[in-house]
A and B are shown apart, each in its own frame.
Chain A
Amino acid sequence: MNTNENVIDSKACPITANHIKVALVGQPNVGKSMLINSVSNAHLHVGNFSGVTVDKTEVLFDYQEYSFTVVDLPGTYAFTDYTIEERVTHDYLCAEDYDIIINVVDSTNLEKNLQLTSELLTMSKKVVIALNMSDEAQKENIEIDAEYMSELIGVPCVKVSAVTKEGIETLIDAVVQKHENPRNKPKLVFSEPVEEEIAQIVWYLDKHRFESANTYRNIAINLLKNNKKTYAKLHDEPIWTELQPILIEASKHIELHHDSDDIKEAFAEEYASFNRGVVAEVVKQDTKQENTTITEKIDSVLIHRVFGIPIFLFFMWLLFQLTFEVGAIPMDYIDAFFIWFGDTIGATIANDDIRSLVVDGVIAGVGAVVLFVPNIIILFIGIALLESTGYMSRVAFLLDGFFHKFGLHGQSFIPLVTGFGCSIPAYMSARILKNDRDRLLTLFIIGFMSCGARLPVYVLFAGAFFSPEMAGNILFFIYISGALLGLLAAKLLKLTAFKGIDEPFVMEMPKYRLPSFKLIWHTVLTKTMMYLKKAGTYIAAASMLVWFLSNYPHNLALEESYSTKIEMAQTQDEKVALENKLDEVLLEQSYLGTVGKFSEPIFAPLGFDWKMSVALQTGLAAKEVVVSTLGVLYSLGADVDQENSSLMGVISKNISFASAVAFIVVVMIYLPCLAASVVFTREAGHVKYFFYLLFFTSLVAYVMAFIAYHITLLLL
């Protein structure tokens, strides 16, 4: 989990003489994380939309005799502190200690990227520019004269490609060289009127021998740009009284020249014209290229105003259909494996209690969770494709109008979709929302998007009550109704708790990219391994606990009274029936049974027996535990039917359809898991929000389940 800083590789030692600390800066979605991945052996998360990296991440690696610390910063369009992630970057660049900046720019869209570069150049830090995506630029017939560009703006520019790893070594060499050499001044030239004003201020500072680490020119530029930090610094100096009138006069001149009352706008125009000049000099593009790009062609279909939304819904339906249909194929084998494995291991253990712990506790619990790995993999592939192709932003575009009606922001879509995978990264990615109220609202709704861990519960129940042909549709229906319910909840919250003006919606639509097989494979593998690791550790431990709580305390008197009854039984059938009855009674008077019985009245209006009640309570720790708890409880319980020993079979026999519907509704709505709750609290900023969330989701879950239960009863 990302905390404030995340150290990926601890092998390299940063405390050496030849240590270089690099800040990696660039606009969103230019491939900063990807570049780090190809420089070192890190595996940072990469996607094709703005806002993948929302917190700074440190990566350490060695190159020749140097050791590097690279800080991957969230992408930022300009130094404006518009969103939290942009603030992270701005604060880091201004306040932290680092040696050099690598400014990553997208070679295929140089002019726009240089907007940020020109702001970096006034920072009096050493800068190296990485002209990334040079392979894509080549394909688009864009040619950049990197040498001429280095000369023009006075900082080294290196063509690189994070994908093909071209130019990576040259880039590192350039960084080392720049680090070793004294700083040379970047050549950022403004229009004549602005240059005159700058010269005036520089002359004044020079006259008074003002002492500063920054150059006079940069101070002058920052003062003219109304940079708060520079102002604060000079405000306490004796020269301020004389400087102030000069500044006011200078600002007036510049504003007049730009016909604007906004000095920031004037400077943006200055930068833009400088950048246009640079681009005109160094970029050669084949103008004979066709007018519409491939991206625009694809867009004309995918964001079509009539077909766009149906196409999106079809993709989602397809994903859940595949999740169930294809995911079901290996399920029987996995199930059979765990039954065989349990029997084999069980045969080697003599002690009854230990055998039961291992077979009925750990193996049944973990097996029930591992069973759903194929479904999880397919769902993760779907989300990885959505993230890496660029389609995500299109859906945000299509749905913004709809979302807006419910008080949500179009960009809320990105954390919400991430929420279908796991709520934790979803909570983190809500940082792309600027306004705190919108962000809180989105945080509250993320839980309604059913995460991957809830999938096993749905697959289990859908498989138990529906034919395989229908189960995929049911799965789709569950997810969609969860999402719609989330929208309604958003509307409710917006009308009550989160009233206020709407945040503007201005978002970049990235170019479509074919995701590399390697990238998808890696993302899916990492997430799947995390799921398996959780099954092997957390879930196994929880299963043991559930087993223990459901086996103890032993009630010897009860066992004896039943064993005499069993001995006296006349027929074999009667014996089996009595044995089952004993198991059931023993389970009911166990610790877990006591808890279940105690809470049963609360859940009775929803049609849950005590086993389901317990499963929901253990599910507060993690949703997979719901399945493993049911697995343990029902494998210990009454059912010993040889033909139908799978959990699905047991469930369809023991739970009524209406109860099952209510159960799914509760799982769909209530708190995701312990870990997610911790992250939620951190992102929301105060522990009180957690209690609001707990109360809100529990209440909605209870009410909705109650309604669902009674409607189903009426219909059947």
Chain B
Amino acid sequence: MKTLLDCKKACVVKVLKLNTKGDLKQRLISFGIMKETTLEVLEHAPAKSTIEVKVGKMRIALRAQEAELIEVEKI
């Protein structure tokens, strides 16, 4: 299983599943991160603690723990 955390910089992926429930899932969805969305990894913060992804035209920062919950597939 590949997650968003495994992706390198400039990697373009498709979301397969959000392995989370409740508030965090709602939050990700309201940011447009849901099944079938395309994400592009823009940058990692030092020590890969936080990553920046592009969803549509929006740039979103996620912590490593959250990125790990997003199952993706490379396209």
Contacts and interface: CB of A to CB of B under 8 A. Distances in A.
Contact of A506 (B42, B49, B56, B66): B66
A305 B30 contact: no
B61 A78 contact: no
Contacts of A252: none
Interface string B3-26: 000000000000000100101111
Interface in A80-137: 80, 82, 108-109, 111-112, 115
A299 to B, nearest CB: 7
A506 B60 contact: yes
* A interface SS class: helix
Nearest to A511: B59
Nearest to A309: B46
B73 interface: no
B74 interface: no
Interface of B: 18, 21, 23-32, 34-36, 42-47, 49-50, 52, 55-63, 65-66
* B interface SS class: mixed
Interface residues of A, number: 43
Interface of A: 77-78, 80, 82, 108-109, 111-112, 115, 260, 262, 264-265, 268-269, 272, 295-296, 299-300, 303-306, 308-309, 393, 396-398, 400-402, 404, 410, 434, 502, 504-509
Contacts of B35: 260, 265, 269
B19 to A, nearest CB: 12
Contact of B61 (A108, A306, A393): A393
B62 A401 contact: no
A300 B42 CA distance: 9
A296 B9 CA distance: 13
Nearest to B29: A268
Nearest to A79: B30
Nearest to B9: A305
A404 B26 contact: no
A502 B63 CA distance: 11
B49 to A, nearest CB: 3
A265 B20 CA distance: 11
Contacts, number: 125
Contacts of B34: 265, 268-269, 272
Contacts of B21: 262
A397 B56 contact: no
19 contacts: A80-B30, A109-B57, A109-B58, A111-B32, A111-B56, A112-B31, A262-B21, A262-B25, A268-B29, A296-B59, A308-B46, A397-B61, A401-B49, A410-B61, A505-B62, A506-B28, A506-B63, A507-B60, A508-B61
Contact of B63 (A262, A305, A400): A400
A305 B51 CA distance: 10
A265 B46 CA distance: 33
Given A401-B45, A508-B58, 4 more contacts: A77-B30, A115-B30, A506-B31, A506-B61
Contacts of B49: 400-402, 404
A109 B44 CA distance: 24
B47 A401 contact: yes
A305 B43 contact: yes
Contacts of A309: 46
8 nearest CB pairs, A to B: A401-B49, A78-B30, A77-B30, A505-B63, A509-B59, A268-B29, A397-B61, A80-B26
B27 A82 contact: yes
